Structure 1
Amino acid sequence: MKEADDFIWSNWISKGQAKIEIPGAKKLLERLEKGNQEFRKELFHSSVCNHIDNQGICFYDSSLLLSSLVDLVQGDIAKTIGLDLGNDDGERRRAAKLAGGLRKLNNFVLILDDVWQHIPLDRVGLPNSGNGCKLIIASRSLEVCRKIGCEEYIKVEPVTEKEAWELFSEKLGHDRTFAPQIEPITKSLTKKCSGLPLGIITMAGCMRDVEDITEWNDTLERMKGSIVEHDDDMGIEVFQVLKYSYDMLKDPTVQQCFLHCSLFPEDYKIPREMLIEHFIDERLVDGMRSRQAELNRGHTILNKLENVCLLEGSLDTRRSGRACSGMEYIETAMSIVEGVTNYEGIDEKMKKLKRKLKHLRSREEDVKEELKHAEGLSLKKPRKVVENWLKNVGNIKNQVEQMEQQIQETRWFSHLPLERKMGMLTEQVAELDQQGQFPEGLTLEAHGSKHVKFITTKLIGQTFQEHKDVIWECLRSNNVSKIGIYGMGGVGKTTLLIDIHNELLDHPNFSVSWVTASQEFRIHKLQNDIAKTIKLELENDDDGRKRAAQLAWHLRNMNNFVLILDDVWQHFPLDRVGIPTGGNGCKLILTSRSLEVCRKIGCEEHIKVQPLSEKDAWELFTEKLGHETLSHEIEPIAKLLAKKCSGLPLGIITMAGCMREVEDISEWSDALGKMNESVVEDDDDMSTEVFQVLKYSYDRLKDPKVKQCFLYCSLFPEDFEIERETLVEYFIDERLVDGMRSRQAELNRGLAILNKLENGCLLEGIVKANGKKYVKMHDLVRSMAIKIAKVNSPILVKAGEQLKEIPAEEKWSKDFIKVSLMENNISDIPDSVSPNCPKLSTLMLNHNHCLRSIPDCFFSYMPQLSVLDLSYTHIENLPTSISDLVNLTALRLEGCMRLQHIPSLANLKVLRRLNLSLTGITEVPQGMEMLFNLRYLNLDGTGIKMIPDCIFAKLSCLQYLGIDNVITISSKLKVRGVEMVKLRKLETLKGQLYDMEDFNAYVRWRENNGGPNNYLLQVGQYFLSHSSLMKTYDRAVCLKECKISKSKGGEDSLVLPTDVQFLHIRKCNDASSLCDIASLNNATQLRDCEIHICEGMENMVCCCSCSLPLLQSLQSLWLFGLSKLRALIGGEICCASKSASPSSKLLLQTAMFSSLTRLQIFDCPKLKRLFTPVLLSNLKHLEVLTVEKCEQMVEIIGEALDESDDCINQQEPISSTSIILALPKLSNLRLLCLPELKRFCYKEIIFDSLVKIYTNSCPKLSFNGQPAHAYSSSC
């Protein structure tokens, strides 16, 4: 880019070059337009420059040349230089007059941007030689530049991989640091953009502030699979730009040839001759007189595609020929190109009319909604032109309805007159749609509303005051220029900002403007709306850059200006609108229902407005109800009714308005009953005023799968906290997340969907103290979702309603698709009950803990049942009718601890999930070998003793296999590594292998051939659950009573996976230190190590010069019951002494335990001292230290001459001048049952981060040498 910049400047100075061509160089031209001011002043000195922004440069967007006449172009160029061409002169005279005017401008440069076709310079009047002007054009087509006669061509190539990464990092945020797991994904994602700046910038904007690794993985997976949603920013902002190049290929044959190139692999160099042979085979090049003519035609087509930058040409030195490669973005973009038909019959024309009318209806609804919003705030009144437009829309809708009726009643040969009329109606609908953009806005300012405080509801609650304080702090700060206020619909975002707006009007140091963003966003309209609030008349010009520059200039000159944008639904580039922020720009506050929008706009501060607390909600409810005292009978009902609104101010105010002055207790009870049943009538105020507001967030979800996932959450009980991973597993079972290349990709996609729903405030995210993540639905959102779901497909939701009996048979409709009866107290299903639900696909009876039996006939009339959840019930036998559910894809029985018998599964050939974990079964169910499509099998904690060898060979589609022996001590279920090798699609394996030989053989096979990315491999019987490990670590190994050190013959007794993250060793007595385990040299990703009851272990590391990689990466170490352990590092005393060599000290200081954050020592009786000063200097990241039941522990940090010297009594008394700083991040310290512990450190030590310290049963511990807070429970 720099070289191109310099080249153009040099050619401006050179008098020999008159025209420069820059294919695809819009950004470069913008830089030149804004470039070096001093250089410009030196170069362009004509007085005419004053009329062209003091620059001597005319910048003209020529994209309209495709549909505009030459005189229009002449007029636009003349306008920029202040020349009047007149209206009556002919084209030639106008051209001559324009050329004369341009020649008078010395050193004049004309920039034509985005040129798509050849421009006859003489006809327009552009002088190009001698004393003519300099012409720079930007185009995607080399052919266009050649025809115009450019003397120089500059092709702007994609940026390098290094430059791409720098650009991506910059747009993501200058202070962004990535987690180690995320950084390689970000680099892969950047690489997928193939150096295209537009793609890089858009992708960075999409991922700004995203911390969830699953969302990064999902984005990368979709880019790899060329999966881009039409409402995705990449689809809207990047692919539509690229697709325009395709649309400009007028020849259908050339278009088809281009699309054919996308069939080849990514980054594939296609030899031109081979590609042309494909064209010939496909009859894309056909009908020529000879084969050579066909080859020539093929080369011409490829030249055309290269010249317009849709293909990239290269010279392949290996083949002594030329090759073509399809740019990755273009290849993906073309995956969304749809075919078109050449003939439209009456039906097609009617469909076209309906499509246009549908868009017009949407615009009409948006206009009405915006007018309603403005009227609600008492700010504006509708323009007359808007009122007339609404009347015309109503008339055209009636005409279309009449037309449709006429077509149905008329025979086909009488359709011709109707077709003519239909064409006229189509044009009228399109015209009305165009008129409905209203660039001047929908409303006029109501009398006296400028700079007048808005009417608003009084803010209630401490949270609102806290939000106000944060906003004011940001307004006063120089570090924050953009503030994003987000939250669900009706939660009070606008109310909060109205309060801020009114206070700003009274503030002498601020000026403020309020603009409500249109739900159908257009930059042109937003520019006009902002301009009107500051009394600025913008040029009614199609060039958005000029309007943006004009608006930005005025906003920069308004001191301490605050712009409030309310109700923003989609992100937009602030510079394209003309909103300057930061530095001498204005402050921007926006409200949105989407955190994603706030992130992409680049807000530095995000404030989420939460629902009111129960106390504040009741206060608001009573205020809006009126201050009259409620009767004793009504008050508890009123409190329950207010509680059902779950703190949503809009719902509370609406409900209070409905119940104002209602004194009949039966009416109150009825309202509560309807809310409990999620029954809201269409004409009810809650439906029209609350649900419609909430539903708009749902309507904005463009992806139908995301909508279905949202609606699925309504099947869970009210206020139910759903674990994220569990919910995603349901999505997979329901095929809402499907068709991905792997199970992990499906999990990532599901979690990304939940993030989208959370960011859009349709779900509420919850993080527990243990780090587990859950989601929850707001009660009113859930009621709205159930209402939508019932319209789309009949469902029955009675989840968490304390039912004791299953609904009567007549309550089961034949049309039910889904039934949720989870979380109830159903104890018995009568033998006679057999619901007739032929369309039922999902039945959830889980968590009915009293349910003991299900009659055999219960499932007899549910032939389409696909997902059946009976988990956590007390059933003892499954009914035999289960065997006939041939469409069943998911059978969930986990937690049915009394379950003893399962009928044959042989007929369930499409079953994909079978979860039998924590059940009482003792044998593998009959027919399991017939489950050829099984993807998920969980047998954790069952009583099964053995799995027949033949079964796994039949389950070739398995992706998840869990055989973790927990809870059931009697179970000794093991798997053979040789059987696991057959499962080539396996991604997750949890199980116990037979012995170390079997373990090592399987690990070697996996290292060489690939295998599960997630595993928990065990050798030896464990009685405690390690299933929680899989939540923290993807790859874990647990070994008990095994030989782990090298054998006498030098062979490794233990072969660890190189990517293991967690290692637990228990009762393995043959190793004296970790250095004896040779395979640890390759375990570079080990993060957590636990060593329990290993009697041979004397040191963790053999010596201070040990170079085990894990010593640098290890983050957590837990030592338990090591009876011979004397030191963490063998020979550490020598290493710490003054006589130690500098090299040994240096090695220890720079590597060993440098990443350790948690250290726990328990029951190590021979350990006297934990750290020396040399080791202490490495522990800069240590946060938690626990030392317990170490009988000989004398001091935690000590220094001695040898191992036998107890120098604690020989040290000098602690001096205040001998202070050392160590353990800077230690926040939690526990010292328990240490009878010989005399002091913490031989010198005084300061803790900067200590929060908690706990000591107990340390009788000799004195204050001398202790931290200042040694006897406090918290600091």
Structure 2
Amino acid sequence: MGNIVSISLPSDPIFDCSCWGSLIQPPKYIRRLKKNLEALDHSFRELTALKADVLRKVEVAELQRSMKRLNQVQLWIEKVEKIENEVAEVKHGRVQEIQKLCCGAYCSKNYLSSYKYGKNVYKKLAEVDDLKNKGIFAEVAEETFPATLVRERPMEPTVGMEFVFYKVWSQLEDEQVGIIGLYGMGGVGKTTLLTQINNKLLHVDFDLVIWIVVSKDHNVETVQDKIGDKIGFSSNSWKQKQQSDKAEHICRLLSKKKFALLFDDIWEPIEITKLGVPIPNPHNKSKIIFTTRSEDVCGQMDAHKKIKVECLAWDKAWNLFQEKVGRETLGFHPDIQRLAQTVAKECGGLPLALITVGRAMACKKTTQEWNHAIHILKKSAHEFSGMEDKVFRLLKFSYDNLADEKVRSCFLYCALYPEDFFIFKDDLVYLWMCEAMLDEYGSVEEAKNKCYDIIGTLVAACLLEVNVDMVKMHDMIRDMALWLARDCSKENDSFLVHTSAQAAPDVKKWKTATRVSLVDNHIESIVETPKSTQLLTLLIQGSYISRSPLNMIVDGFFDYMHKLRVLDLSRNEKLTQLPSGVSNLIALQHLNLSRTGIRELSIELKALVRLKYLNLEYTNQLNFVPPELISNFHMLKVLKLFGCSSSDRILFGGERALIEEIEGLKHLEVFTLCIRSSYCFKKLFSYNIIVTSTQYLHLSDGKNYSSVLDISSLADMKHLRGLHIDEYPNLEELEIYWAGQDPNDPRNAMMRNQSRFCGLEYVDVCRCPNLKDLTWLVFASNLRILEVRDCSGMEKIIDLERFGRMAGAVKEQNAFAKLTDLHLDSLPRLRSIYGNALPFLHLNQILVYECPALKKLPLNSTSAERCNLIIRGQKEWWNGLEWEDEVSRSVFLPYFMLEFGEVLRTDFKETDLGQFSDHLLFFSARRKYILYKDL
């Protein structure tokens, strides 16, 4: 039949059907697996070594030659990094796959698995070999950027910022100024200004200009990465480096360049050296410019120059507003232009508000719409279109960034006062002290230090504006604060602010309020009793502009105010008595009755046993204080009687003089008073607590005829800050004399007391026609403000000739070293202020009016080196001044301002002072007295 071949197959399970596949198809991936793995190991080691060589060349080029790696090199490095991970995965399954091999590594127990693995090994081997071949680069890096690299930033046309721009630019041109801080409130245009600077740098020889927006929660590494992106360090490997390594890279590159680094919107100080940025200096000529809302940040950033970006002046603000509203709308109705000016003024010169409101009004073409806008902006600005989202929320960032809740509460407290209202710092001290905001501070001085620290924090954050001894809120900041108090405040801190009101608000609105403000009121009477059981603060100050009409508060008005801490009824000159029921104010700590028509203090006030502050200044009608009333205020720390016309009789009259009650107040720290007789003046110094606590003293002797006034006793009053000497018709000399000295040799007496009058800061002398000089002032080393008015016989302010041979020693005392303001008015015989020129390190203003004989000022060309001086006076007087040389005259010519003299002589009242800017707030040539209590 034919040969029959019999084949016997082994039954061993390891010889399964997969082996048949290997017999049919040559298994090169399986058969060469071990050799391919060995080849992959060898080739991969060469690739990693090559990568290390390339990276080293790249880093050398980047760090030492300020170059940037080529894109093809970066791509190759990224591919190598990718295949490193893939090869690692292949090696991970190596042992398992080799164990599957059989028949002398010719076959596999799992053919499909081994086949796929072997094929992957072969593929990776080919890829590694390919990368090795492509990793040979003639150049690995190129120049990072052109010789000059400044990217222009888009911006809208600016209005009104020309002056501040050139101010900044002049500092950029100063080689000694390397770091410039631009600070100001939110929305004032700091970023716009920085953008202008950036674009101007297009035409300046900087190698590199870097713009960095700093987020509020920045850290060093995120800022380093932003800088790295701008200078070519953008690879993942660079970003993964340690902070110190990044700093080294940045430093090596920037140290070889003239750079300008622009930081926008810094909230917290950045440590420049930790970033790796070289500090600008005259050698490298680099610059750092940054914007911030905090002046404090400028200091912590070691800014060589701090420049505040202010709100726009009215003419610039009006131009910006017109631009945003448009000519078509402004010309649509003849009254719109006038109404538009009122709307624009509500924005307070803040560019962001002007732009927001202007754009919102661009389509409003009826007078009714404009009148409605005025109403909304005055009463509840947050309801105006875009104001809350675009303005208030931006400003709120500054509020949120305040250190703690106490500072925030103090900030909101300032919003209780009207627009453009100047608040005296010392008034805030006493208010916050009695509001339990400064409870942890035992003494008035400690509370004052903390209060000034808080005020400084708010001023530095551009949330308050400072003017010498006063602060005020910008209109938009105040509107934002009221919005916060209304919508974001705690349930137990509700504000009801009804300033400049013609009538008291509905008593229903008082029910939940904790703080009510009717400051600058025009209210004639308050006839309803509010059930204000939670009320802590009640301010019913009269108007500063005109005599307040308030003449009556209904009896029982205070019946529900058991928690009230602060009551201010000041400046209500027609209010002659307090309502009955004042005894209900058992928690009251602060009572201000100054400038009221109060005729007598009610015996009900005895119930106010927690009172710490009582102000009776300028209560010209007050003629009776019940016995033992003042002594009942055991906790009283502040008592003010300055300008009280009946103070002599009240203090020293009666069976038990009031001054004896005051002497028993063990906690009294601040006392002000008016003395109108020589007898009372001498008796005053027998009361120790009066001597140690008196801060402001008014001396007047119009009914007597003393030719000499011995003020020696004042010299040792260390806390005496202000002295007002008024109406001494026959006074010829202010004498300094004390026991143990020869009264006939005033020179020796003066010389031995160079440390006296150490607390005296303010002196006002007026209506003393026979007084010839104020030579004793050379020893008032801390004098800041001096005003001399209506003294027709005054010949010299300081008469050095009175010291004879010791005049040289007196000159060495550097008189007026701390003087900031000098006001001379109606002194027809005045010939000299001081015998020679003085440095005047802090002098801000010299005001001279109707002093025709004064031909020389104590100034020379060096006097203005370290002061920001303004000289105000009449043109004829200025032209007649004699100078040490022409250089001195030319130095001070830019400081002279003529127009102030015209403004000063207008017939405004002393009660208008709070509405005037600069030093008009303190002084008026026509007012009858200086308001020392306000200083």
TM-score, structure 1 normalization = 0.48
CA-CA distance at 1:1151 after TM superposition: 5.5
CA-CA distance at 1:1100 after TM superposition: 7.7
CA-CA distance at 1:471 after TM superposition: 3.0
Q: Secondary structure at the match of 1:572?
A: coil
1:646 aligned to 2:318? no
**Structural mapping, 1:286-685, within 5 Å:** 452-461=151-160, 464-505=161-202, 507=204, 509-537=206-234, 539-540=238-239, 543-559=242-258, 561-580=259-278, 581-582=280-281, 583-584=283-284, 586-630=286-330, 631-632=332-333, 634-663=336-365, 666-681=368-383, 685=386
Counterpart in the other structure of 1:781: 477
Contact 2:178 2:287 in 1 (8 A): yes
Instruction: Give the letter for the 1:730 counterpart.
Output: L
Q: Secondary structure at the match of 1:1080?
A: coil
Counterpart pick for 1:761 among 462, 468, 483: 462
Name the CA distance, whole Å, in 2 between partners of 1:1161 and 1:823: 31
More divergent stretch after superposition (970-979 vs 846-855): 970-979
Counterpart in the other structure of 2:632: 930
Contact 1:1052 1:1078 in 2 (8 A): no
Name the CA distance, whole Å, in 2 between partners of 1:752 and 1:706: 10
Counterpart pick for 1:797 among 481, 497, 522: 497
**Structural mapping, 1:826-841, within 5 Å:** 826-830=523-527, 833-841=528-536
Counterpart in the other structure of 1:866: 565
Name the CA distance, whole Å, in 2 between partners of 1:1117 and 1:709: 33
**Structural mapping, 1:1014-1163, within 5 Å:** 1014=720, 1023-1024=726-727, 1051-1052=740-741, 1071=744, 1073-1075=746-748, 1080=753, 1083=756, 1121=793, 1128-1129=800-801, 1152=811, 1155-1156=814-815
In the superposition, relative to structure 1, how do residues 1164 and 610 fare at CA in structure 2: closer, same or farther (>3 Å)? closer
Name the CA distance, whole Å, in 2 between partners of 1:1180 and 1:598: 29
**Structural mapping, 1:910-925, within 5 Å:** 910-919=610-619, 920-925=621-626
In the superposition, relative to structure 1, how do residues 1114 and 1128 fare at CA in structure 2: closer, same or farther (>3 Å)? farther
1:750 aligned to 2:451? yes
In the superposition, relative to structure 1, how do residues 1122 and 533 fare at CA in structure 2: closer, same or farther (>3 Å)? closer
Instruction: Give the letter for the 1:1155 counterpart.
Output: N
1:733 aligned to 2:392? no
Counterpart in the other structure of 1:847: 542
Name the CA distance, whole Å, in 1 between partners of 2:429 and 2:301: 29
Counterpart in the other structure of 1:64: none
Counterpart pick for 1:825 among 522, 525, 530: 522
Name the CA distance, whole Å, in 2 between partners of 1:1187 and 1:676: 39
Name the CA distance, whole Å, in 2 between partners of 1:1099 and 1:940: 23
Instruction: Give the letter for the 2:211 counterpart.
Output: W
Contact 2:718 2:759 in 1 (8 A): no
CA-CA distance at 1:663 after TM superposition: 4.6
Q: Secondary structure at the match of 2:478?
A: helix
Counterpart in the other structure of 1:959: 669
More divergent stretch after superposition (485-494 vs 938-947): 938-947
Count of paired positions: 699
Contact 2:712 2:735 in 1 (8 A): no
Contact 2:722 2:760 in 1 (8 A): no
Structure 1: 5+ residue runs without aligned partners? 1-49, 55-85, 88-449, 767-771, 1026-1037, 1054-1069, 1102-1107, 1133-1143, 1198-1220, 1255-1275
CA-CA distance at 1:957 after TM superposition: 1.0
Counterpart in the other structure of 1:137: none
CA-CA distance at 1:930 after TM superposition: 1.2
Residues 726-759 of structure 1: CA distance to partner in whole angstroms, max 9, x if unpaired?
A: 3333333323334224322322322222222122
Contact 2:556 2:579 in 1 (8 A): yes
Contact 1:819 1:844 in 2 (8 A): yes
Name the CA distance, whole Å, in 2 between partners of 1:699 and 1:1245: 55
CA-based RMSD of the aligned residues comes to 5.3
Q: Which structure has the bigger radius of gyration?
A: 2
Residues 315-357 of structure 1: CA distance to partner in whole angstroms, max 9, x if unpaired?
A: xxxxxxxxxxxxxxxxxxxxxxxxxxxxxxxxxxxxxxxxxxx
Counterpart in the other structure of 1:697: 398
Q: Secondary structure at the match of 2:516?
A: strand
Residues 377-429 of structure 1: CA distance to partner in whole angstroms, max 9, x if unpaired?
A: xxxxxxxxxxxxxxxxxxxxxxxxxxxxxxxxxxxxxxxxxxxxxxxxxxxxx
Contact 2:634 2:665 in 1 (8 A): yes
Name the CA distance, whole Å, in 1 between partners of 2:380 and 2:251: 49
In the superposition, relative to structure 1, how do residues 542 and 963 fare at CA in structure 2: closer, same or farther (>3 Å)? farther
Contact 1:1114 1:1153 in 2 (8 A): no
Name the CA distance, whole Å, in 2 between partners of 1:686 and 1:1095: 61
Q: Secondary structure at the match of 2:675?
A: coil
CA-CA distance at 1:474 after TM superposition: 2.9
Contact 2:561 2:584 in 1 (8 A): no
Name the CA distance, whole Å, in 1 between partners of 2:434 and 2:591: 9
In the superposition, relative to structure 1, how do residues 459 and 864 fare at CA in structure 2: closer, same or farther (>3 Å)? same
CA-CA distance at 1:1079 after TM superposition: 5.2
Contact 1:1121 1:1162 in 2 (8 A): no
Name the CA distance, whole Å, in 2 between partners of 1:871 and 1:835: 20
Residues 97-121 of structure 1: CA distance to partner in whole angstroms, max 9, x if unpaired?
A: xxxxxxxxxxxxxxxxxxxxxxxxx
Contact 2:206 2:260 in 1 (8 A): no
Residues 1005-1032 of structure 1: CA distance to partner in whole angstroms, max 9, x if unpaired?
A: x97xxx85336689xxx6459xxxxxxx
Instruction: Give the letter for the 1:786 counterpart.
Output: L
Name the CA distance, whole Å, in 2 between partners of 1:488 and 1:689: 14
Residues 1226-1264 of structure 1: CA distance to partner in whole angstroms, max 9, x if unpaired?
A: 998999x99xxxx999xx96364245899xxxxxxxxxx
Counterpart in the other structure of 2:578: 878
CA-CA distance at 1:498 after TM superposition: 1.8
Contact 1:456 1:498 in 2 (8 A): yes
Contact 2:329 2:365 in 1 (8 A): no
Name the CA distance, whole Å, in 2 between partners of 1:1229 and 1:637: 35
In the superposition, relative to structure 1, how do residues 981 and 1112 fare at CA in structure 2: closer, same or farther (>3 Å)? closer
Residues 1197-1242 of structure 1: CA distance to partner in whole angstroms, max 9, x if unpaired?
A: 9xxxxxxxxxxxxxxxxxxxxxxx99975998999x99xxxx999x
CA-CA distance at 1:922 after TM superposition: 1.5
Contact 1:504 1:510 in 2 (8 A): no
Residues 648-688 of structure 1: CA distance to partner in whole angstroms, max 9, x if unpaired?
A: 2222222234344345655544443222212524x952211
Name the CA distance, whole Å, in 2 between partners of 1:923 and 1:748: 35
In the superposition, relative to structure 1, how do residues 1121 and 951 fare at CA in structure 2: closer, same or farther (>3 Å)? same
Counterpart pick for 1:980 among 667, 688, 693: 688
CA-CA distance at 1:829 after TM superposition: 2.0
Residues 1154-1197 of structure 1: CA distance to partner in whole angstroms, max 9, x if unpaired?
A: 624699999999x9x999xxx97897879999999999x9x999
Counterpart in the other structure of 1:392: none
In the superposition, relative to structure 1, how do residues 975 and 887 fare at CA in structure 2: closer, same or farther (>3 Å)? farther
Name the CA distance, whole Å, in 2 between partners of 1:1117 and 1:794: 43
CA-CA distance at 1:605 after TM superposition: 2.2
Name the CA distance, whole Å, in 2 between partners of 1:727 and 1:1122: 38
Q: Secondary structure at the match of 1:757?
A: helix
In the superposition, relative to structure 1, how do residues 1086 and 870 fare at CA in structure 2: closer, same or farther (>3 Å)? closer
Name the CA distance, whole Å, in 1 between partners of 2:188 and 2:807: 56
CA-CA distance at 1:1094 after TM superposition: 12
Name the CA distance, whole Å, in 2 between partners of 1:721 and 1:1111: 28
Contact 2:668 2:689 in 1 (8 A): no
In the superposition, relative to structure 1, how do residues 809 and 555 fare at CA in structure 2: closer, same or farther (>3 Å)? same
Residues 812-870 of structure 1: CA distance to partner in whole angstroms, max 9, x if unpaired?
A: 3x21011111112111223xx11111101111111141101111121112221111110
CA-CA distance at 1:991 after TM superposition: 7.4
CA-CA distance at 1:1110 after TM superposition: 5.2
Q: Looking at both structures, which has the greater relative contact order when contacts are Cα pairs under 8 Å and sequence separation is at least 6?
A: 2
Contact 1:815 1:839 in 2 (8 A): yes
Counterpart pick for 1:940 among 635, 642, 651: 642
